[in-house]
Structure 1
Amino acid sequence: MTMTNRRSFLTAASSIGAASLAGCLADVNVLDESGEAETLTDSGADPDENSSADPNETESESDDEPDSDESTDELDHLPGETIVDFEDLDSWIGMAGQGRIVDEDDDVYAGSRSARITAEEGIDYAATYRTYSDGLDLNGKNLSLAVKYMGRDQFDLTVQLLAPNSQNVLSFRRSLTGPADAWQRVDLGVNAVDTQPDLQNVQEIRIIGRRRGDESGDIEFLVDDLRAVDRPDRGAVLLLFDATLESHYTTAFEIAEEFGYPGVEAVIPEAVGESGRLTLDQMRELDDAGWDMAARPRTGAQFLHEFSTEQQEGLIRRTKAYLENRGFEDGARHFVTPKNLVQAEAMEFVREYHEQAFRFGGAPNTIPTSDAHNLGTFGGTGSATRHFVDMAARYNQLAVLRFEGIGADGFDEGEFRELLEYIDEKDVDVVSASDLLERDA
C-alpha cells in the first residue's frame, strides 16, 4: 500500500457494522475457527418455518424501531449509536430448546438493565432472537456489543442478521479469550455470508453463546448495548509478527517492503539478541521503516493471570519501559497478549499502561473500534485467512493477521509472498498499530 493510501486510511470516516441475529428457527451456516462451514440448527425446527418459539407470540409484539432511550452520558465516548439497549426484553425470545433469556437488573453495562442468556449442561448453545416485521436498515453499518460471560476462561459469541430470511444471513463470530466475569465490548467482524443478505431489510437478530475450550458446564452470559456505526470508506489489514523472531527481519521485512507494507513486531525484551531472535539494530531498522515495536511480556509456559498481582503489573510495566528506554515510544503504546488468554486483573494493568491491545479473536474486527484494548487476531497461515481478508475488504473492517516464523522456521516464504500479493489485489489498506490509533484519535 502506498503512503497516499495510508494517509487516506487515517482520515477515513469510521463505522461500526451492524450485525444482528435473526430469529427464524432454521438452519444457518457459520464459519468455525478452521474456516470450515458449520450448520447451526434449532432442535426440531422446520427449515421453512419463520415463527417464534412461542406460537402465542404475534408479530405486533415486536418493536421495529431501534432502541433509543439508552443513557447517553455513559456511552458518549463510544462511536455510533445504540440500536438495542436491552432495557425491555418483551421482543426477545429464547430459542426453542436452546436456553432462555431473562432480565438482569443488578449487573448492567449501561442503563438499568441487561439481558442474561443461559443454557444448562448438555445443551449445545444458548440463543435468543427478536424479529423486525417492518425490517431494520443496517446497510453500510458495522456492529459492536457489550458482553460478559461467566464460569469459563473462553467463550464463543455469534451474532447473526437474517436479511430478510434464513437463506440470506450475515454472521459475526468472535472467540473471547478473557477477561471472564467482566464486561467487555466486542467489535464484531463478519465471519460468514449466506447468499446475498439485504441489510436494508434485516428481519431478525440472533445472539448465540457457545462453550469454548472446556465443553462441560452451563452456558451463562450477559449482553447489553448493541451499537451500529457507519463503515469507513475502506477496510484494513494489519500484519502482526509474534515472538521477536529473526526471520521477521531477514525474510518477512524484505518481502513486505516490496509492497510498502508496515508490520507490528511483538517484542519480548528477554529474547532480543538471542540466537534466532531480532537484534536491537534490526528492531531499529524495522521501526525506521514504519513498523511498530509492540510490548509482549515473556511468561514462559504460564498464562499471564497465573502470576501474582505484583508480578503481572511488573511484567507489563517493565516490558513497556524496555521499549520506551530504547526509543520505541510509539510501539510501546501497543500490547500483544502472551498465549492469548487474559483475565480481569491483568487487563486493568494493560489498560493502565497501554493504549491498544491484541489477542486471539478468530475473526476480523469492526472499525472504528469501540474498545482498542480488545482487538482480535487470527492466524495468518490458516485456511480461513484469505476469506477473512475478503470479509474485511467487502465490509470495510479490520483483519489482524498473526504470524510466527517466516521461511525456514515457519510459514513458507513463497506462500507469504503470495498472501501479500493477494492482499495487494484487495480494496484494503495495510496499516500499523499506530495508524489505527491515529485514525481514531
Structure 2
Amino acid sequence: MATLGAVGVTGLAGCSGGTGSTPTDNGTTSNTTTQSETSSGNETTSESSNGENQAFTRGELVEDFEQFEDSRWGNVGGTIETDTNEVYSGSQSLHMTNQKGRVAGIFKSFPDGLDLSKHDLSLAVKLDKPVRGKIAAEIIAPARSDMLTSKRFIPKELNGWVRIDLGYTGRKGDPVLKGVQELRLMVQSEEGTAIDVRIDDLRKIPKPDKGKVMLQFDDAVTSQYEVAFKELQERGWAGGVAIIPDAINSQGNLTTGQMREMRDAGWDMMSHPQVPKPLPAYSEKKQRELIKKSYNYLDLKGFPKGARHFVAPYNRVSKTTLDLISEFHESSYMFGGCPNNAQQPSNMHAISRVMGKDPRGTRRVLNIAEEYNQLVVIQWHDIGEGKDYETSPDDFKNVLNHIKKKDMDVITPSDLIDG
C-alpha cells in the first residue's frame, strides 16, 4: 500500500421537506476558493452479480491509479494511499483521508498539456465522509489566474461507488483548455469534519459543439401549468414535470387533462414517488415497490415516454436506490449543483441538477456551460407571488430570458435519450 504524506494547506474556503438535506443554492463561484501549498449509447457503469463494477469504456483514460507510485501525483492535503479492497475498476483505487478535515486531495502537472478542449472530465468516487460533501476539481489552464473549478454535491446516503461528471461551476481569467497544465482533485470540509473518500478511473469523455439546457419542475403543482407551461410555450420550449401520482387531480396540483395537454406539447411526465422519508430509509424490497408503483402509474395513464425518467425524492439516493431505479428507468436526476456532459452524461442515473430558485447562481452556471458546451438541468418547484411560493414569476422569467440569449439547445429528458 503506497502512501503520500500530508502537506500544509493555507486557507480553504430534493424536493423540499422535513429532511433538510439539500443545499439552499447552487454554490457557484466566479473564481476558485481554494489556495493550497503543496510539495512538487448508455455507457453508465453497472454492478455485476458478484458485486464488481463493470468497466466504463467511454472516452479516454486519464488516470486509473494502477501505477500511482510512479505517476507524479502530488499531495494537496491529508493522507493519500492506494487501496486494493475498495475498487471501482482494475486492481486498486486511491484512498484520500484527513481526520482533521479541511481538505484531502491530489494534484498533477501536465508539462505537455492535457487537452480538454473537446472533452469533459468524468470520475468514479466513493465518498464515506463527510456524509454530505462535494467532490471538487481545479483545472489550471495554464496558470491559477486562468482556471476552471468544478464542485459536485454527493447526497448523504450515496456512499457507494458512483460515476460523476465534473461540470464547471466557477471560472477565473481566460482558461485555455487545449493545454491544461495542472489538475487538482479533492474533497473539502469544515475544520474538524473528517474526510474519507476513494476515487478511481478518471477519464475524459467527448462533448458536443454546443451546450444544452433542460428545464424540470417537481411535484406537479398547478403553477407549473399556469405559469411555467405558458412561459415555455411562448418560447417554443418543452420541459419535464416530476409527477407525484397520489397528488394528481387534487387541489393545488395538476389534473390528468393538464398532464395530457403538456405531454402533447412535447413535455415529459416523469416519475417522482412521494414518500415521508428519502428512499434509502426503506428496505430494498420497499424501495423497489415504490419505484415500480410510480412507474406503472405513468405507463398505464398514457405517459410511457416520460415514465422512462426518474426524479429522486428529497434528492436523496443510495447505491442500492440507483440500482433499483435503473431496473425501471433510463435516466434519473438529483441535485448535484453542477452541469453535466451534454453529449451523454457519464452516469445516466445520477444526472446533476441546479436550483432555479437561485437565479444568480443559475445564470453563472449557464454562462460557463454555454462557453464550454455542457448540459445544465434546472429545477423549480412552485412559481408565484408571495412568501408561499419558492420562486417568483419575475425570477423565473429572468432565468428563461437569460437562456433565450444563450447559444444553447433547450431539450427535454427524452431528447437527451432519443437524440
Same fold flag (TM > 0.5): yes
Matched, 1:399 2:376: yes
Q: Distance in 2 between matches of 1:325 and 1:84?
A: 46
> Structure 1 residues 27 and 414, CA, compared in 2 at 3 Å: closer, same or farther?
same
Q: Do the aligned residues in 2 keep the contact of 1:147 with 1:222 (CA within 8 Å)?
A: yes
Q: Do the aligned residues in 2 keep the contact of 1:133 with 1:203 (CA within 8 Å)?
A: yes
Q: Aligned residue pairs: how many?
A: 382
Give matches, 1:181-330, under 5 Å: 181-211=159-189, 217-300=193-276, 302-330=277-305
Q: Which residue among 351, 376, 386 is the counterpart of 2:326? A: 351
Matched, 1:364 2:359: no
Q: Distance in 2 between matches of 1:325 and 1:285?
A: 17
> Structure 1 residues 395 and 155, CA, compared in 2 at 3 Å: closer, same or farther?
same
Q: Distance in 2 between matches of 1:348 and 1:427?
A: 35
Q: Distance in 2 between matches of 1:422 and 1:185?
A: 30
Cα displacement string for residues 152-199 of structure 1 (whole angstroms, at most 9, x for unaligned residues) = 532211111111222111111110115533111101111111111122
Alignment partner, residue 432 of structure 1: 412
Alignment partner, residue 367 of structure 2: 390
Cα displacement string for residues 224-262 of structure 1 (whole angstroms, at most 9, x for unaligned residues) = 111112220211111010011011111110110011111
Alignment partner, residue 102 of structure 2: 124
Q: Do the aligned residues in 2 keep the contact of 1:151 with 1:180 (CA within 8 Å)?
A: no
Amino acid at match of 2:398: E
More deviation, 313-322/201-210: 201-210
Amino acid at match of 2:249: G
Alignment partner, residue 94 of structure 1: 75
Amino acid at match of 1:387: R
> Structure 1 residues 205 and 27, CA, compared in 2 at 3 Å: closer, same or farther?
farther
Q: Do the aligned residues in 2 keep the contact of 1:168 with 1:196 (CA within 8 Å)?
A: yes
Q: CA deviation at 1:431?
A: 0.5
Q: Distance in 2 between matches of 1:157 and 1:208?
A: 6
Alignment partner, residue 136 of structure 1: 114
Q: Which residue among 35, 46, 62 is the counterpart of 1:41? A: 35
Give matches, 1:331-342, under 5 Å: 331-342=306-317
Q: CA deviation at 1:28?
A: 9.1
Q: Distance in 2 between matches of 1:197 and 1:394?
A: 11
Give matches, 1:16-165, under 5 Å: 33-36=26-29, 39-42=33-36, 45=37, 52-53=38-39, 74-75=54-55, 78-90=57-69, 91-95=72-76, 98-121=77-100, 123-165=101-143
Q: Distance in 2 between matches of 1:435 and 1:174?
A: 24
Amino acid at match of 2:410: V
Gaps of 5+ in 1: 1-22, 46-51, 58-72
> Structure 1 residues 316 and 74, CA, compared in 2 at 3 Å: closer, same or farther?
closer
Q: Distance in 1 between matches of 2:193 and 2:322?
A: 25
**TM-score, structure 2 length as denominator?**
0.86
Cα displacement string for residues 321-347 of structure 1 (whole angstroms, at most 9, x for unaligned residues) = 000000100111100000011112222
Q: Distance in 1 between matches of 2:176 and 2:29?
A: 24
Q: Distance in 1 between matches of 2:123 and 2:66?
A: 14
> Structure 1 residues 78 and 238, CA, compared in 2 at 3 Å: closer, same or farther?
farther
Q: Do the aligned residues in 1 keep the contact of 2:26 with 2:355 (CA within 8 Å)?
A: no
Q: Do the aligned residues in 1 keep the contact of 2:383 with 2:390 (CA within 8 Å)?
A: yes
After TM superposition, where is structure 1 displaced by more than 4 Å over at least 4 residues in a row?
25-29
**Identity among equivalent pairs (%):** 34
Q: Do the aligned residues in 1 keep the contact of 2:138 with 2:150 (CA within 8 Å)?
A: yes
Q: Do the aligned residues in 1 keep the contact of 2:218 with 2:380 (CA within 8 Å)?
A: yes
Q: Distance in 2 between matches of 1:27 and 1:232?
A: 36
Cα displacement string for residues 196-241 of structure 1 (whole angstroms, at most 9, x for unaligned residues) = 11222212110111248xx864211111111112220211111010
Q: Distance in 2 between matches of 1:240 and 1:200?
A: 33
SS at match of 1:41: coil
Cα displacement string for residues 235-290 of structure 1 (whole angstroms, at most 9, x for unaligned residues) = 11110100110111111101100111111000000110111100000001010000
Q: Distance in 2 between matches of 1:217 and 1:172?
A: 21
Q: Distance in 1 between matches of 2:54 and 2:328?
A: 23
> Structure 1 residues 197 and 426, CA, compared in 2 at 3 Å: closer, same or farther?
same
SS at match of 1:318: helix
CA RMSD for the aligned pairs? 2.3
SS at match of 1:339: helix
Gaps of 5+ in 2: 1-6, 14-24, 41-52
> Structure 1 residues 410 and 119, CA, compared in 2 at 3 Å: closer, same or farther?
closer
